[in-house]
Amino acid sequence: MNDTIYFDYAATTPLHPDVRDAMLPYLNDEFGNPSATYALAQAAQEAIDSARATVADLLGCSPNEVIFTSGGTESINAAIKGVAFAQQLARAGNQITTSAIEHHAVLHSCQYLEKFGFEITHLPVGQDGLVQMSSISSALNEDTVLVSIMTANNEVGVIQPMAELSRAIRERASHLNRQIPFHTDAVQGANALSVNVDALGVDALSLSAHKFGGPKGAGVLYLRRGTPFLSQQSGGGQERQRRAGTENVAGIVGTAMALEIAQSSRQNYSAECQELRDALLSGIMAAIPDATLNGDAERRLPNNVNVSFSGSDARIMLELLDEAGIAASAGSACNEETLEPSHVLLAMDVPLSRAVGTLRFSISRRTTQSDIDRLLEVLPGVVDKSRLAAATPAS
């Protein structure tokens, strides 16, 4: 990494050195196409099989329930559209339930499905960012074919009570005498949270390797056996005919190793990040007393600080921080070009004046106390300049 002080690990993480070493053979000499039959190709296939077994062990599932993809967005699209269209073909219904604070990959997939006659219900969240449990039962009906709720929010870091949500969905499905698959976007959680699918109580789960020290362009979709699914990518018979296309062998190998490293070290990661996160948050509150933390203070990822500064402008603050050599975010990295008010914050009833002045600082075990000290040295002046610029009428 260059001299930039990096506070945007929720957007992406650097490739772990061990992951890079594991990938290199499949970027060089071991370049075979796994679909062929000769030895070079079969070496690649064996690498994929080994990676699949590793991921399955970490997820607590069977290897044939693991599908390798190009990343979180594809995994989410495949899960939501694949289950929805399969259910539609079976005439099982046309209603999908999700939350109001999902990543755009979920929300836009649901919006796309509306063109095909699906009805989307968005569950509300409280000011703490948690899905309101009381809304689950009333949202599910005899036409519900899928529920998708994220494990942890990418902007405010709030962790949803997945086991309780799963239990409520199962009870309602049993009452309705129907199958209601439960999908979760777990893209932000793999560094700090268990991704055991039975503990989470899910039928489908999406991961993106570059969020936990793996390569960009690689991801995982877990799909429980028996879950209705219609492949969204046609071509060859790869991934048991569920995701056509020549496999990204190096990416798959890197994904498996990165997930293994992340899951084996998640307790130490959580403890170290939480200590740094709390130091950062207390420092911000001491230096800028009217700053406001967004999201539940306890049920949140250990590396996430999402704070609002009323009367300021996130775009200006990010530019000033960048000039000072500090990289941060206004929320989702997928929405940085527009910097529209966060749909997550608005769904949490954060006033617009606060929402547009919100920054997300996300850290990792690579973050140091000196990094935090430098940010706390610069941030008050950045907020003051932003507020002054926002209050100055345009000429």
How many other CB atoms sit within 10 Å of the CB of residue 246?
12
> In the structure encoding, which two tokens stand for residue 293, read together?
């933390």
Distances (CA, A) of 84 to 78, 170, 203, 226, 275: 10, 18, 13, 14, 42
Is residue 334 annotated as part of the catalytic site, yes or no? yes
61, 110, 273, 334: which one is catalytic? 334
Distances (CA, A) of 208 to 69, 101, 139, 255: 9, 19, 29, 8
> In the structure encoding, which two tokens stand for residue 26, read together?
């499949």
Q: Please, which residues bridge with residue 185 across strands?
A: 206
- Contacts with 121 (C-beta within 8 Å, 6 or more apart), sequence order: 95, 96, 97, 98, 139
Residue whose entry in the numeric block shows the structure tokens 């699949």:
52
Task: Please give the positions annotated as active site.
Answer: 334
